[in-house]
Structure 1
Amino acid sequence: MAERNEQLERLAYEYQLLQAQAQLLAQNLELLTLGRNEFQAVKQTLEELKKVEDEKPEILVPIGAGSFLKGMIVDKNSAIVSVGSGYATEKSLDDAIGYLDARIKEYDEAIRKTQEALAKLEGQLQELAQKAQKLQQEAAMRFSVKE
């Protein structure tokens, strides 16, 4: 009986650890998805900018709290894009779009791997739950047989 309780406690501990890992992966997946969506939005904006016929189109520049300033794009043929670690570089629109595409693909791969890891953890959690349930059923059967 004591051995069975130890097994159940060990399974419960493992379950909690795996659950915590799954929560971290789910949070990571959410952050990756947000990052990917941001890059996708920038890419779409640049693609739409290429279609604009005005040489210096007017835009609204967000300044926070739902407020904007009117502005003008003085060079619609290039964009300054972040390349990480606080650095940015000026690229032609086509190069910027290509760069963003590559980053989106990196995000897609990271999202795919995270989803796979999460699915694996969920399978392990299910296995542990089944083991615990089996141990509890065995204990209940032994208890009722002894009566």
Structure 2
Amino acid sequence: MAEMNEQLEKLAYEYQLLQAQAQLLAQNLELLTLGRNEFQAVKETLEELKKVEDEKPEILVPIGAGSFLRARIEDKENAIVSVGAGYAIEKNLDDAVTYLDARIKEYDDAIAKTQEGLKKLESQLGELAQKAQRIQQEQAMGFSVKK
């Protein structure tokens, strides 16, 4: 009986560890999805800008708290895109879209790997729960079933 309690405690500890890992992966997945969506929005904006016929189109520039300023785009052929670590470079719109596509693919790959890891953890959590349930059933019945 003491051995079964020890097994249950061990399973409970493993379960908590896996659950914490799963929670971290779920949070990471959410951050990756937000990042990917931001890059996608920028890409779509640049693609739409290429279709605009006005030489200096008017836009609304967000300044915070749901407020905007009217502005004109002086150079609609180029965009300044972030390349990470606080650096940005100027690219023509086609190159900027190509760069953003590559970044979106990186995010998609990271999202897929994170989802795969989360599925594995969920599977392990299910297995641990089943083991614990079997041990509890054996305890309730007062005997152990040999495998």
TM range (shorter): over 0.9
The whole-number CA distance in structure 2 between the counterparts of 1:108 and 1:14 is 30
Identity of aligned residues (%): 83
Aligned residue type for 1:47: E
The whole-number CA distance in structure 2 between the counterparts of 1:119 and 1:37 is 22
Match of 2:2 in 1: 2
The whole-number CA distance in structure 2 between the counterparts of 1:69 and 1:109 is 37
Q: Deviations over 1:91-126 (max 9, x none)?
A: 000000000000000000000000000000000000
Once the two structures are superposed, the pairs formed by residues 86-105 of structure 1 within 5 Å of their partners are 86-105=86-105
Per the normalisation by structure 1, the TM-score is 0.97
Per the normalisation by structure 2, the TM-score is 0.97
Name the SS for the 2:123 alignment partner: helix
Once the two structures are TM-superposed, the CA of residue 83 in structure 1 deviates from its matched residue by 0.0
Aligned residue type for 2:70: K
Unaligned 5+ segments in structure 2 are none
Name the SS for the 2:142 alignment partner: helix
Match of 1:114 in 2: 114
Match of 1:26 in 2: 26
The whole-number CA distance in structure 2 between the counterparts of 1:135 and 1:64 is 57
Unaligned 5+ segments in structure 1 are none
Name the SS for the 1:53 alignment partner: coil
What is the aligned length? 143
Match of 1:43 in 2: 43
Q: Deviations over 1:23-73 (max 9, x none)?
A: 000000000000000000000000000000000000000000000000000
Name the SS for the 2:90 alignment partner: strand
Q: In angstroms, what is the RMSD of aligned CA positions?
A: 0.6
The whole-number CA distance in structure 1 between the counterparts of 2:66 and 2:125 is 44
Asked if 1:63 corresponds to 2:79, the answer is no
